Amino acid sequence: MSAGQPPLEIPPCGCGSPGTALPSTCYCSVEDLLRVIRRRYSLAVLNAISQHQLARYRDVAARLPHASSSTLSETLGALEAAQLVVRHTAESVPTATYALTPAGEKLLSRLRRLLDELDQ
């Protein structure tokens, strides 16, 4: 490390290089997922999309009236990059639709079960 450069951030699992440690001890992928779902409105957007087979942007925005359009767009982009949401476009329809990926459905399902268990 040269002078003036910030120190490297070591992941919480201590592996130092994602993908080089055993999957049973490396939590880097979990950290990446947590960064996405900790974003403001991420879980609410996932939930809004889950209420429709294919959700249009306006469907999501209607469920989250306090979220700005830029925040919703950024959140949808982050969820798409994390492969929790897939964006569908068709030439015949000028607007895109969003759907949960199998990973997004599984994540929501598991979070709901966890919350149900905590309520008991």
Say which residue, 13 or 70, is predicted with more confidence.
Answer: 70
**What is the average pLDDT value for the chain, to the nearest integer?**
82
Q: Which amino acid is at 88?
A: H
Q: Is the pLDDT of residue 3 over 80?
A: no
Give this prediction's pTM.
0.74
Contact between 19 and 28 (Cβ < 8 Å) = yes
- Compute the radius of gyration of the chain from its Cα atoms: 18
Q: Is residue 17 part of a domain?
A: no
Let me know if residue 3 belongs to a domain.
Answer: no
Which CATH number belongs to the domain containing residue 48 in this structure?
Answer: 1.10.10.10
B/e letters for 45-57, b = 16+ CB within 10 Å, e = fewer, are bbbbbbeeeebeb
Q: Which of 7 and 101 is assigned the larger pLDDT? A: 101
| pLDDT above 90: residue 46 | yes
State the total domains in the chain: 1
Give pLDDT, residue 52: 84
